[in-house]
Amino acid sequence: MSELEMKCLKLRVPKVTKVKRGAVNFSSLKLTFAHLSSLSLTCFGLLSAILLAGCQDTRERDSLAAQVEQLTQEKPQLQRQIEQAEAQNKQLKEQVQVLAALPENVKLENLRLLASIKIGRYSGFYDKDKDGRKEKLIVYVQPLDEEGDKIKAAGDVDVQLWDLSKSESGALLGQWHVTPGELKKLWFDTLLTINYRLSFDLPASIDPAALAGDSLTVKVTFTDYLTGRVLTEQKAIKAQQNP
């Protein structure tokens, strides 16, 4: 017998007093109905409490099961990350050991360091869709070492287009920024030369007539990530050039 049944049995229902035929003992009936209602409410309350407790236990079990499943799925990924970090750490330690063994006078002097930058002569405006309007600015940037050789230096680049015939407030026609991740994908190698080829959309606000002048200037600022040097170069460009 369950605990609920025991509690229900302990609630005694009062005996109805026997009355003569034709006579009704209303007070006894009211008392009986009151005890029956109390018994029903008590049993219902106990049942509800048991059901709620069972539902709560089920939700907790489901929540714990979901957490266990999530942790199980994340474990292989975390393990791979740990293995990757350990491999990178090992590689860095080996690099440190190699660098520490080099003489002081050869640690930098044998590296090809960025000394200057040059804006290529084919930099200019480009009519991409051949509609008579030049909507692209192409800038060729050549990083040079101390001997004048071109090198693929890592860094970021800022490019500005100026119209020097205008007042200072309206002279800047456009400016763009190239991140290191974008720059390394723009290394352009041909039979004649190698350089970074930067392509930008001209702002729609630029008057096409302004591109016909001879006072347009491109300014390039290159931040070298190896040495921390900031190099600047500028060059006048003409609208008739079509890189």
pLDDT digits (tens, 9 = 90+) for 91-141: 888 777 776 776 666 655 667 789 999 999 889 888 877 777 788 899 999
User: How confident is the model at residue 139, as a pLDDT?
Assistant: 95
Report the chain's mean pLDDT, rounded to a whole number.
Answer: 77
- Choose which CATH entry (1.20.1250.20, 1.20.120.530, 2.60.40.1940, 2.130.10.30) describes domain 116-237: 2.60.40.1940
Which residues are CB-contacts of 213 (< 8 A; sequence separation ≥ 6)? 163, 165, 239
What confidence category does residue 38 fall into, taking pLDDT thresholds of 50, 70 and 90? low
User: How confident is the model at residue 13, as a pLDDT?
Assistant: 46
Backbone Cα Rg of the chain: 42
The larger pLDDT score, comparing residue 33 to residue 203, is at: 203
Which of 42-56, 92-106, 202-216 tops mean pLDDT? 202-216
Whole-prediction pTM value?
A: 0.56
* Cβ(13)–Cβ(33) below 8 Å: no
Q: What is the pLDDT of residues 157-186, one digit of tens each?
A: 999 999 888 888 888 999 999 999 999 999
Domain layout of the chain by residue ranges: 3-84, 116-237
Distance CA 29, CA 55 (A): 39
Closest by alpha carbon to 150, among 178, 110, 213, 192? 192
Distance CA 187, CA 195 (A): 6
Q: What is the pLDDT of residues 13-24, one digit of tens each?
A: 444 444 444 444
Whether the per-residue pLDDT at 31 is higher than 50: the answer is no
Q: What is the mean pLDDT of residues 36-52?
A: 59
What confidence category does residue 208 fall into, taking pLDDT thresholds of 50, 70 and 90? confident
Q: Is 228 left (phi over 0), alpha (psi -120 to 50) or beta?
A: left
Closest by alpha carbon to 9, among 32, 42, 45? 42
Which residues are CB-contacts of 243 (< 8 A; sequence separation ≥ 6)? 122, 123, 124, 126, 138, 140
